Amino acid sequence: MQKKYSWNITFMHIYLSAIKTILIWSFNSHAVNTVLNPGKCFFVAAVLFAFWGTSYAQQEYAPAVEARIGEVEGHLNGRAQIKDSNNYNNLQQRMKTEGVNGLSIVVINNYKIEWAKSYGFADVASGKKTNNETLFQAASNSKSLNAVGLLKLAQLKKIDLNTDINTYLRSWQFPYDSLSEGKKITVTHLLSHTAGTGVHRFRGYEVTATLPKIIQILNGQKPANNDPVRCQRVPGKASVYSGGGTTITQILVTDVQGQLYEDYIWQTVLKPLGMLNSSYAQTPAKRRIGQ
């Protein structure tokens, strides 16, 4: 079955004073047997983003804003630019070409929501349309919020960013091997993808599958379908993307705080930001994204 995807494009500003806006693209499948990334169940890729707690219904905007919306909707660049030809197409055309069922956009300008608009369907079968409260899987875009949560722990002096992670890990310890012997892996390494850890990404699981615990994911034990999260290169030598390394930060937060990761991120990051419709929890009620 060919998957159909919904995309969520969000402009947001999160404690980054030097950056005016951050563009976040996230997608989710609405196929009948959708595959969930384990990150959407257990670690930082788990966050479900919706718009801020305030409801922003489809509405009319000032002419200048409507003009900018029209530019977004009607002038999308393709991946390849053909000389002397018009490479733009409109949003509806692009959605059809890419097999995208539903899409939501929110733009923040000068720290305020300038406009928000939704397109297409959250559920094609039932004809349910997307709206500005539709949840979308944010996937690895949620790593930025995870970093905020870790930095908050450092600010509170509960962790030191440059201390060996095994100092804080209680329920699981990172198994240093010949590649990492004599070295130390720190939170700084994990957040910057310089820890040398493997497991670039995760294949995900069917909704009906038995989901692994986080320690099973880290150890590569069934029902996890990934390799163990281990060193594949010397820590601190190079930046190589590692979803597995980021997973370690979740269990570290849990061990340090003595509470569920999703609860900590909700209390420390999402709620203070007013992201009241967003969550890192993957509950059965929220398994089907786009509800």
Report the pLDDT value the prediction gives residue 221, as an integer from 0 to 100. Answer: 96
Name residues of the chain where pLDDT drops below 70.
Answer: 1-58, 78-82, 84-88, 283-291
43 lies in some domain: no
Residue 88 within any structural domain of the chain: yes
DSSP, collapsed to helix, strand or coil, labels residue 95 as helix
Pair 174, 198: CB distance under 8 Å: no
Tally of domains within the chain: 2
Instruction: Tell me if 290 is assigned to some domain.
Output: no
129 in the same domain as 156: no
Residues 6+ apart with CB under 8 A from 271: none
In a domain, 277, yes or no: no
Tell me if 59 sits within 8 A of 267, measured CB to CB.
no
Task: Specify the pLDDT at position 276.
Answer: 84
Q: What is the pLDDT of residue 49?
A: 55
- Whole domain around residue 84: which residue ranges? 5-32+51-134
Same domain, 85 and 199: no
Specify whether 102 is located in the same domain as 165.
Answer: no
Residue 139 within a domain: no
The distance in angstroms from the start CA to the end CA of the chain is 21
Cβ atoms of 20 and 282 within 8 Å: the answer is: no
Same domain membership, residue 168 and residue 63: no
- Kindly state whether residue 281 falls inside one of the protein's structural domains: no
Q: Which two tokens stand for residue 73?
A: 């909707």
Give the chain's largest Cα–Cα span: 63
